[in-house]
Amino acid sequence: MGGFPVERPRRLRRTPALRRLVAETRLHPAGLVLPLFVREDLAEAAPIASLPGVVQHSRASLRDAAREAVDLGLGGVMLFGVPSRRDAVGSGATDADGILNAGISDIRDEVGDDIVVMADLCLDEFTDHGHCGVLTATGEVDNDATLERYAEMGVALARAGVDVVGTSGMMDGQVAVVRAALDDAGAQHVAVLAYAAKYASAFYGPFREAVDSQLTGDRKSYQQDSANRRESMREVRLDIEEGADIVMVKPASHYLDVLRQTADSVDVPVAAYQVSGEYAMVEAAAANGWIDRDRAVLESITSMHRAGADIVLTYWATEVARWIAEGRA
Ligand code: PBG
């Protein structure tokens, strides 16, 4: 007489060693990318209130952070610049001495080819109106005029020494235009990480503080509506047709369905961006003693890999890599 139940899935959950053996998803530092902020005219690193533990870097502290990322074996860093002066067309983005380009050069100088150096290719940090593109006379975001600026910015980032540009502006045709500009400038080697499915999200709130965003209003005329999933497949398809080397879904936690469908439908690496609000929520709940912080961090990132992400951008990248090195994750 056979036992009941016939199948006992709990057998493989009995001990930590068994659970480790059968884990379908494993965290590895090489799959993590650390977003970094570098601010012009800053003497030393400055905290960001809504992102506890994350800082705006000075050029000197940025070098230290990049070095630490290398030492911990992270896959890459994604750099964002915070300029002192802004204008209507985001001139600082294409200025070779602008803070983003200077930061890229600093990191490259500090760590050579030991880590993948990525940078945000978008105008929002550099415009005085805070939009991701340039505006028409009536205040709309002008898609095709913005593409010209993105092409120039891609070349500037390449000249500064970037490995990967993150096209995050959600303008139609941006990947094709940036790819062509890079190729024309002799930067065929620079890869494009396309923010392919990027939603107009409330979860970017703390990031806006991190980059001193000047935005009033929203980005709903260019970023996607959270109601839509099929539309993401269209965005992903277009970005790959236009030459994207990696496609990303953003935010991550609330879009795991989009992430899974993307991973199932493409033959390029897939990234997910665990954005500032996702980070801040866990930190805030943990600060109140309402959640086990470390477990929540690991569970959230593991879920993104389980949903199909090869690469996760997360503000916890350094800390998680340290836990992995210590055998705690
Ligand atoms: C645009 C950009 C944003 C983020 C990354 N790139 C802001 C936005 O789209 O409004 C948000 C990242 C985060 O919230 O952590 N340059």
Contact 143, 133 (CB under 8 A): yes
Per-residue confidence (pLDDT) for residue 1, from 0 to 100: 58
Residue 183: phi and psi, rounded to 5, are: -65, -45
Instruction: Compute the distance from residue 329 Cα to the ligand 1 centre, in Å.
Output: 28
CA distance 117 to 124: 20
Is residue 220 annotated as part of the catalytic site, yes or no? no
Whether the predicted pLDDT of 315 surpasses 90: yes
Does ligand 1 come within 6 angstroms of the Cβ of 278?
A: no
Cβ atoms within 10 A of the Cβ of 212, count?
A: 15
Confidence of residue 3 (pLDDT cuts 50, 70, 90): confident
Contact 206, 233 (CB under 8 A): no
Contact 13, 20 (CB under 8 A): no
Minimal CA–CA distance to 89: which of 124, 121, 39, 119?
A: 124
Q: Give, using CA atoms, the residue closest to atom 1 of ligand 1.
A: 168
Does ligand 1 come within 6 angstroms of the Cβ of 316?
A: no
Instruction: Compute the distance from residue 248 Cα to the ligand 1 centre, in Å.
Output: 13
Residue-wise pLDDT tens digits, 61-83: 999 999 999 999 999 999 999 99
Residue-wise pLDDT tens digits, 188-214: 999 999 999 999 999 999 999 999 999
Domain 27-325 has CATH 3.90.1170.50: no
